[in-house]
């Protein structure tokens, strides 16, 4: 065991399915890659994706866009956030979330998280009244859902409009209701490291016709808004079509073509991710130094990555924990690092956001570790990863961690 090394890549995704490659070739043979480039009453791949995603998600409307970040920017704008407006959001999330708020000139108001990595609803309530914010961009960071019923009740009581960032919760649900269906809109990403892969891409869902009409115009629909697969009726556009700017963030038929077959495989892939995630989570839970975030029984998550904490670890020990695992081929990210690395950053390095004091979040992030679980890892691979992490955590714990 001592010299065992993990050799697979943490950024190697599964190949694009054959059916998706065939669909991509078929689109390319037509030359009609732009979503509005259709012959007669032909339905474009992008329209069909919108229709199929709306159905899968259980939302009346779906708009395909260029990225998850664009879905969030468009949603905030279409929801009526104006420059200078405060927008509540998670203090622990990825940079495109505060980035979407900055893009529309909003002021991010960062809300603390709990040790289970979800939004602290008491802090949300406090900051909603302090800031006067009317909007929440709720980020289900790394797939952890807060108590969605309490959140919805709170939003109702405080007149907050909720937009969900579901980049890590495509396919997740709370008490049988899909993540993305709790507020005004759900924003999804189809970027390579998410749950379906078109390189870049995004999906926006809602049950609000007027919101979706504005979002569709914003996405760059020109006067072609009737050519959408799951959009509102044409009359809904009468009032807004000339007053909503075109911000060109459309999806194209090539991406839509490779996403449709992947959507059909998503349920099976969720089971595969969760088998991997749960195997490692069980191993980590048995280690006394490690804390694995609690997952309530009403939460159906998608275990495409795993998070765990080593409470009380010092920065020096955290760095050597990460370095030691890296020597064994295990790529772990640490959210407590002073400098952003790769995709990982924290609120201290978002200098376009007004600095805010977040002591609870900082304490949690200082001992928080994260690992991707691509489907190219087998269950045996995951068992080895679990062993290597537990071994490393035990040796750290013998030095200093206070559980
Ligand atoms: C990836 C990601 C996004 C944005 O998705 P892109 O498609 O890359 O713009 C938003 N939120 C979170 C938490 C993400 O990880």
Q: Can you tell me which residue has the tokens 């329209």?
A: 47
Q: Can you tell me which residue has the tokens 């991509």?
A: 24
The predicted-structure confidence for 386-400, as pLDDT tens digits, reads as follows 999 999 999 887 665
CA distance 14 to 26: 22
The predicted-structure confidence for 183-218, as pLDDT tens digits, reads as follows 999 999 999 999 999 999 999 999 999 999 999 999
- Does the pLDDT at position 401 exceed 60? no
CA distance 265 to 211: 30
Nearest CA to ligand 1 atom 2: 167
CA distance 390 to 371: 14
Question: Ligand 1 atom closest to Cα of 202?
Answer: 7
- Could you tell me if the CB of 69 is within 6 A of ligand 1? yes
CA distance 224 to 47: 12
Nearest CA to ligand 1 atom 11: 167
The predicted-structure confidence for 224-263, as pLDDT tens digits, reads as follows 999 999 999 999 999 999 999 999 999 999 999 999 999 9
- Does the pLDDT at position 36 exceed 80? yes
Helix (H) or strand (E) holding 361: helix 359-365
Mapped onto helix, strand or coil, the DSSP state of residue 267 is: helix
Give yes or no for a contact between 308 and 392, defined as CB atoms under 8 angstroms apart: no
- Could you tell me if the CB of 73 is within 6 A of ligand 1? no
- Annotated catalytic sites, by residue? 194
Q: pLDDT value at position 399?
A: 62
- Å from CA of 290 to ligand 1 middle: 27
* 38-48: average pLDDT: 96
Q: pLDDT value at position 342?
A: 85
* 362-368: average pLDDT: 97
Q: What percent of the chain has pLDDT over 90?
A: 95
- Tokens describing residue 213: 């009409």
- Tokens describing residue 337: 């690092």
Mean pLDDT across the chain, nearest whole number? 96
Q: pLDDT value at position 240?
A: 95
- Could you tell me if the CB of 165 is within 6 A of ligand 1? yes
Which residues fall within 8 angstroms of residue 102, CB to CB, at 6 or more apart? 108, 352, 353
Q: What percent of the chain has pLDDT over 70?
A: 98
* 168-186: average pLDDT: 98
Question: Ligand 1 atom closest to Cα of 71?
Answer: 9
- Could you tell me if the CB of 186 is within 6 A of ligand 1? no
The predicted-structure confidence for 84-107, as pLDDT tens digits, reads as follows 999 999 999 999 999 999 999 999
β-partners of residue 333 are 370
> What is the best residue among 97, 167, 186, 196 to mutate for testing ligand 1's pocket, by most ligand atoms within 8 Å of CB?
167
Nearest CA to ligand 1 atom 5: 68
Rg over CA atoms, the chain: 22
Which residues fall within 8 angstroms of residue 138, CB to CB, at 6 or more apart? 89, 90, 119, 146, 151, 162, 163, 164, 165, 183
Of 144, 145, 139, 112, the closest CA to residue 128 belongs to 112
Question: Ligand 1 atom closest to Cα of 139?
Answer: 13
- Does the pLDDT at position 117 exceed 80? yes
- Could you tell me if the CB of 86 is within 6 A of ligand 1? no
> What is the best residue among 189, 200, 342 to mutate for testing ligand 1's pocket, by most ligand atoms within 8 Å of CB?
189
- Å from CA of 258 to ligand 1 middle: 19
Q: pLDDT value at position 402?
A: 52
- Å from CA of 37 to ligand 1 middle: 28
- Could you tell me if the CB of 96 is within 6 A of ligand 1? yes
Question: Ligand 1 atom closest to Cα of 201?
Answer: 7
β-partners of residue 51 are none
Residue 76 banded pLDDT, cuts 50, 70, 90: very high
Q: Could you report how far apart the first and last alpha carbons of the chain are, in Å? A: 26
CA distance 301 to 175: 11
pTM here?
0.97
- Å from CA of 327 to ligand 1 middle: 29
- Does the pLDDT at position 2 exceed 60? no
Domains in the chain, start-ordered, CATH in brackets?
A: 18-261 (3.40.640.10), 263-400 (3.90.1150.10)
β-partners of residue 119 are 113
Q: Can you tell me which residue has the tokens 């077959």?
A: 261
Residue 63 banded pLDDT, cuts 50, 70, 90: very high
- Could you tell me if the CB of 169 is within 6 A of ligand 1? no
- Does the pLDDT at position 1 exceed 80? no
The predicted-structure confidence for 291-335, as pLDDT tens digits, reads as follows 999 999 999 999 999 999 999 999 999 999 999 999 999 999 999
Q: pLDDT value at position 345?
A: 86
* 361-378: average pLDDT: 97
CA distance 210 to 233: 10
């Amino acid at each position: 065991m001592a010299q065992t090394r993990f050799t697979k890549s943490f950024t190697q995704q599964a190949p694009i399915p054959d059916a998706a490659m065939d669909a991509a070739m078929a689109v390319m043979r037509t030359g009609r890659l732009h979503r509005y480039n259709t012959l007669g009453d032909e339905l474009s791949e992008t329209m069909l994706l919108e229709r199929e995603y709306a159905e899968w998600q259980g939302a009346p409307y779906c708009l395909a866009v260029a990225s998850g970040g664009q879905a969030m920017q468009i949603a905030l704008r279409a929801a009526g956030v104006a420059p200078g407006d405060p927008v509540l959001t998670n203090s622990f999330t990825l940079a495109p979330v505060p980035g979407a708020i900055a893009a529309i000139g909003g002021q991010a108001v960062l809300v603390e998280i709990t040790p289970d990595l979800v939004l602290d609803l008491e802090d949300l309530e406090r900051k909603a009244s302090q800031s006067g914010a009317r909007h929440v961009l709720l980020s289900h960071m790394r797939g952890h859902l807060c108590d969605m019923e309490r959140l919805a009740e709170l939003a109702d009581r405080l007149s907050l409009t909720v937009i969900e960032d579901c980049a890590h919760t495509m396919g997740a649900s709370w008490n049988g209701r899909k993540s993305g269906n709790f507020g005004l809109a759900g924003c999804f990403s189809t970027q390579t490291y998410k749950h379906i892969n078109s390189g870049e891409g995004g999906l926006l869902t809602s049950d609000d016709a007027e919101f979706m009409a504005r979002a569709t115009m914003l996405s760059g629909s020109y006067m072609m808004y009737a050519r959408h697969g799951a959009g509102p009726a044409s009359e809904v556009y009468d009032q807004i079509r000339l007053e909503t700017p075109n911000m060109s963030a459309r999806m194209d038929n090539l991406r839509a073509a490779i996403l449709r077959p992947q959507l059909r495989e998503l349920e099976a892939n969720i089971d595969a991710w969760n088998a991997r995630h749960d195997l490692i989570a069980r191993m980590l839970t048995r280690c006394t130094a490690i804390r694995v975030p609690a997952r309530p029984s009403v939460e159906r998550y998608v275990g495409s990555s795993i998070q765990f904490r080593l409470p009380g670890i010092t920065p020096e020990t955290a760095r050597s924990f990460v370095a030691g695992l890296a020597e064994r081929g295990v790529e772990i990210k640490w959210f407590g690092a002073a400098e952003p690395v790769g995709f990982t950053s924290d609120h201290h390095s978002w200098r376009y956001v007004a600095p805010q004091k977040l002591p609870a979040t900082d304490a949690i992030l200082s001992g928080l570790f994260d690992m991707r679980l691509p489907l190219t890892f087998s269950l045996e691979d995951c068992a080895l990863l679990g062993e290597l992490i537990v071994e490393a955590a035990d040796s750290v714990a013998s030095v200093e961690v206070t559980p």
